[in-house]
Structure 1
Amino acid sequence: MKRPRVGVLLAGALTLLGVLAGVLGVPTAASQATTLTAVRVPDQPTLDPDWSLWTKVPGIDVPLTAQQIVYPNGGGTVPSVNLKAVHYNGTLYIRASWQDATQDASTLQTTDFADAVALEFPAKSAVTVPSFCMGQANAGVNIWQWRADAQAGVDQVAVWFPNAYSDTYPTALENDPIYQPARALGNPVALTGGSPVQNLVAQAFGTLERATAQDVQGRGVWKDGRWSVVFARPFAGGAPDQAEFTQGVSTSLAVAVWDGARGDRDGQKSVSQFVTLSLSGAQLRPGAARDWNALWLALLLGGGAVLFGLALLAWLGMTSLGRRRV
């Protein structure tokens, strides 16, 4: 008597799992696309990363790798970043969170480097999907960069130099370029409009510059070995070289993270490729967030284990029966 093979039974079980995955709408690992969905929320969010509704918003984990294309290259010490997104009354809010054992928020010394995170979007003038590596000539990118030292601001000066004395300028001289050389020269760090987020544009490496409008807000919190940063900006971009968002329309999004304790700065950073950002018109439902794909996958794996066990028992039973007949 010809005995059934375990491989055939296992193939049948896997085929059944594939059919069930298709019926349930669960993408397989080989074809799974990463999409961040920004849901509409009923209450106006704040810039606080601990805002209560964030715990109910589904998120995605985006893998990061070292930047190896241009010098200074390196990074890659941050393996992934968790992203969540919501929108309210024409404003997009994105929360980025990642593991970081140290809080690096000072750059007062030449050996200090700050923790930072940046989001990158295609400019609305882009004629094609740009390169995630700072864009290209016909497809620029809009970059929002939050820096821990920019948020700490001048308060850290008093900590490092408690005996230093700083005079004040008369009101009439506050905008005088003689007394504000960094602003006069267009230093983007000095032109953030009071926000710790720099709004930047680029069309390839070496072209990064300050955007005309500095309308991106943000705030970060480091707690229990983890940074969480919230970005916020109205849907409409201030210029063609900036990103624009529309409910019901998808765009692309890439992330970069700098770990100051590891010496990350400039091109030395952990970066992602583009993922899809979808602005949904659906309103966030009350209740805790659930990762339905993970739940269905767990059910499928459990079902697969049961099917494999039944197939194995059937094979053993038929093998035993064949031996008896012999």
Structure 2
Amino acid sequence: MKRIGFGKRVSWFALCFAATGLGGTASAAVDGAQAADAKVLRVLSVNGGAGARSPDAAIWKKAPVARVDLQAAFPGHSSIVGTPATGQLAAQAVRARDMLYMKLRWSDKTANTAVADTDRFLDRVAVQFPLNGEASTTPFMGDGVNAVNIWHWRADGRTENLFAKGFGTATPVVSQALTSAATRRGDAWEVVLARPLAAKQEEGAMLKGRKTMPIAFAVWDGDNQERDGLKAVTLEWWQLRF
């Protein structure tokens, strides 16, 4: 990979510059390159891939896996208190002709598939894209000017296509194109979200023709009373690289 090659060249220069006192600068360049590359989810492109809709499909054994670290979401409201339970999820992506499939896997010992009273909540997962395709959009659900598109899976079997312009503004947008499939494997959820790469502006983020796309992730553990803004998230954009 080109970035690995770049990293090796920088490391070689770092050794050469160490005696001149410039090694710290070269080392920082290495760290920066590695950090940038660490937040990349590489898409596997295939000709077929219809079976990728299933979490059990063989194609997922070939797709690169990105280990995504999660943190507590920014407390956008004073009522959001608590510590999310999920610290990491595994993300994969496959492009098959005009479709994008995303598989998300995370540990969750209890399957919470229904809401009851005021103390039982759903397990959920979501991916988020800036509608304008720009990483300058805030990853915290967008803002009043720059909206985000959220693909939201719920453990009760529902999948929602949402738009948001800041905290508390998530709004369902009609779309028959977004689908999902999920399974339990041991103490973990495995979910595949699928949608055509192309989308009308009023229906979702345009992915067709892009080489990269900012993407963010979120997980809710219903057994930990997580809902709304109490969730585990990425606090900055990753890059989905086609």
- Normalization by structure 2: what TM-score? 0.81
**CA 1:247–1:218: 2 relative to 1, 3 Å:** same
> What is the match of residue 278 of structure 1?
241
Question: What's the CA shift for 1:18?
Answer: 2.0
Q: Which has the higher helix share?
A: 1
| Preserved contact between residue 199 and residue 214 of structure 1 (Cα < 8 Å) | no
- Computing the radius of gyration from Cα coordinates, the structure with the larger value is 1
Identity of aligned residues (%): 30
Question: What's the CA shift for 1:129?
Answer: 2.7
Encode CA deviations 1:152-199: one digit per residue, 9 max, x unaligned.
xxxxxxxxxxxxxxxxxxxxxxxxxxxxxxxxxxxxxxxxxxxx2100
**CA 1:249–1:240: 2 relative to 1, 3 Å:** farther
Q: Which one scores higher on RCO, CA 8 angstroms, separation ≥ 6?
A: 1
Question: SS in structure 1 opposite 2:139?
Answer: coil
**Is structure 2 residue 130 aligned with structure 1 residue 141?**
no
> What is the match of residue 12 of structure 2?
19
Q: Distance in 2 between matches of 1:128 and 1:223?
A: 34
Question: What's the CA shift for 1:213?
Answer: 2.4
> What is the match of residue 123 of structure 2?
115
Written as runs of structure 1 = structure 2, the 5 A alignment for 1:93-242 is: 93-124=101-132, 129-149=136-156, 151=157, 196-240=158-202, 242=204
Question: What's the CA shift for 1:79?
Answer: 0.7
Q: Distance in 1 between matches of 2:228 and 2:87?
A: 18
> What is the match of residue 31 of structure 1?
33
Question: SS in structure 1 opposite 2:181?
Answer: strand
Q: Distance in 2 between matches of 1:47 and 1:251?
A: 21
Question: What's the CA shift for 1:67?
Answer: 1.2
2:47 to 31, 42, 47: 42
Question: SS in structure 1 opposite 2:91?
Answer: strand
Unaligned 5+ segments in structure 2 are 1-7, 16-28
Question: SS in structure 1 opposite 2:51?
Answer: coil
The letter of the residue matching 1:133 is F
Q: Distance in 2 between matches of 1:260 and 1:98?
A: 13
Q: Distance in 1 between matches of 2:200 and 2:176?
A: 9
Question: SS in structure 2 opposite 1:267?
Answer: coil
| Preserved contact between residue 52 and residue 60 of structure 2 (Cα < 8 Å) | no
Question: What's the CA shift for 1:29?
Answer: 4.2
Q: Which has the higher strand share?
A: 2
Question: SS in structure 2 opposite 1:236?
Answer: coil
Q: Distance in 2 between matches of 1:221 and 1:30?
A: 37
**Is structure 2 residue 67 aligned with structure 1 residue 61?**
yes
Question: What's the CA shift for 1:108?
Answer: 3.4
Question: What's the CA shift for 1:212?
Answer: 3.4
